[in-house]
Structures are given as structure tokens and as C-alpha cells.
Amino acid sequence: MDTAPNRFCTQCGAPTQPDTAFCTSCGAQLPVASTATSAPQVPPAPAPAPQAAPAAATAPEPAMVPIPDQTGERVVSAAAGLRMKAGLIKRVTYTLVMTNHRILFAQSTQEMMKQHVNEARDKAKAEGGGFFKQWGAQIASGFNLADRYLEMDPAQVLAETPGNWALDISQIQKVKYKVGMVGDGETASTPDKVTIKTADQKYSLELSGGSTNSTRQAFIEAGLI
């Protein structure tokens, strides 16, 4: 006597009775049994477990970047009466205004010098000074010309005359200050000299006015020498 072939649920693989319409294990509907003799059914292999989706690649954490210095540019010191050659014969007199980032070359024009001298004379006169006090104030005005730049904004310094320009301190390789000598009857006097050297140029200046001590001190205060 032939026995009915074994049946298995196509959904979960559980064995079932030949005349059962639904799986007693999972409840899935079963296919209608064939009356023809067939090979025993093999329980279906269980469906593979779904693989987890690969995790999305995460961007690397940004490297720590140092915060740039937010300190604004400010005037540190100033030195007046420094003269530099401009061509074969011409020489231009500058006040060097040192900031924490640059050296500003503020040109001292004849008009500016005349105005500065007149202001010094008028101030001495307004304070009741006589001829000699006014004359002394005019002479001293050449020494204290640098003082007017100490309270100015660097942008104002550069905009004062079309001939003003700047040199970034980061471009400077070396600053050399050579103190001059006071001559006597046999030896001529020599002025203080300042040499500013960059990678591709050298700027040579001579002190034509102002104080040797205060001029040198201005470069020291700026940390240039």
C-alpha cells in the first residue's frame, strides 16, 4: 500500500499532513496535494537571515587647526628723520612707524615739516613764550615729529601721503642699527645708519634728524634689533 508522500510547509519547513490546507506551525496556506505519486518533498532550506546593511562611512574628524591671532594691528613705536636714497641724487625722508605686523614708511614732505614747525612755534607763542622759546620749539619739532604717529591708526598713517608704503615684518630677515660717530677737528661726523634686509632687497637709511637714543630705542621697542 502506497503511503502519501511527506509534505512540508513551503514557508517554514514544518512537516504537514497530506490533506491539511494550512500549516499548523506558521499558518501559511499549503499547495493542494497532487494525487499522482511523487518523490518525497524535501524541507526547504530556511531563508538566510537578512544581512545588515553596511554602516555608512563616517567622515574623519577635522584636524585641530590653531586659531589665528585675532589681535589687530597697532602702532608700537616710531622713529623720525630717517633718509633713504631714491635714485642717484634724490633722498626721501621718512618717519618709520613700527607696528606689531609691519614697518610703515611715512614720508616727511616739505609741506608737512613746515606745518609741523609752525604748529610748534604757534603753540609756544600761545603759551606766552618769547622769541627764544619759540625758536627752541621749532628746533625741537624735528625731534618729536614721531610722536604724532603714536596715536594714529596704521591705515591713517599709510593714507597720509601718496608716497607712504609698508613692509611686512614677516618678510624681514635682519635689521641692523649702526650708531654714528661725533666728529672732531680731524674726523667728520657720521650719522646713525639702519639697514633692513629682506630676501630680495636691502633698504639703507641714514638718520638726518631726531635723537640717536630715541631712534634706536624705537627699533628696540618694536623687537627689530
What's the mean pLDDT when you consider all of the chain? Answer: 77
Closest CA to 156 of 116, 104, 224: 104
State the Cα–Cα distance between residues 52 and 185, nearest whole angstrom: 100
Categorize the per-residue pLDDT at 59 as very low, low, confident or very high, splitting at 50, 70 and 90. Answer: very low
pLDDT at 157: 95
Give the pLDDT score at 44.
56
Q: Does the pLDDT at position 17 exceed 60? A: yes
The pLDDT of 46-75, averaged and rounded, is 55
Number of residues that this document lists for the chain: 225
What pLDDT is stored for residue 168 in this prediction?
A: 96
Question: 106-137 pLDDT, tens per residue?
Answer: 998 767 666 655 665 677 678 887 876 666 65
Between 28 and 143, name the one with better pLDDT.
28
| Confidence band of 178 (pLDDT split at 50, 70, 90) | very high
Per-residue pLDDT at 69: 46
Nearest to 16 by CA among 5, 34, 1: 5
Residue 30 or 41, more confident:
30
Whether pLDDT at 67 is above 60: no
pTM for the predicted model, two decimal places: 0.60
Classify burial at 113, counting beta carbons within 10 Å of its beta carbon; exposed 0-12, middle 13-18, buried 19 or more.
Answer: middle
Residue 117: per-residue pLDDT: 59
Give the residue carrying C-alpha cell 635689521. 175
pLDDT of residue 1: 44
Give the pLDDT confidence score for residue 65 in this predicted structure: 39
Mean pLDDT for the stretch of residues 82-86: 91
Query: Confidence class of residue 170 from pLDDT cuts 50, 70 and 90?
Result: very high
Name the architecture of domain 76-111+153-221: Roll (2.30)
Cell of 99: 607696528
pLDDT surpasses 70 at 4: no
The answer to whether residues 97 and 221 touch, using CB atoms and an 8 Å cutoff, is no
All structural domains of the chain with their residue ranges: 1-41, 76-111+153-221
Q: Report whether 97 contacts 106 (CB < 8 A).
A: yes
218 in Cβ contact with 211 (< 8 Å): no
Q: Express as a percent the part of the chain with pLDDT over 90.
A: 39
Q: Which grid coordinates are listed for 51? A: 544581512
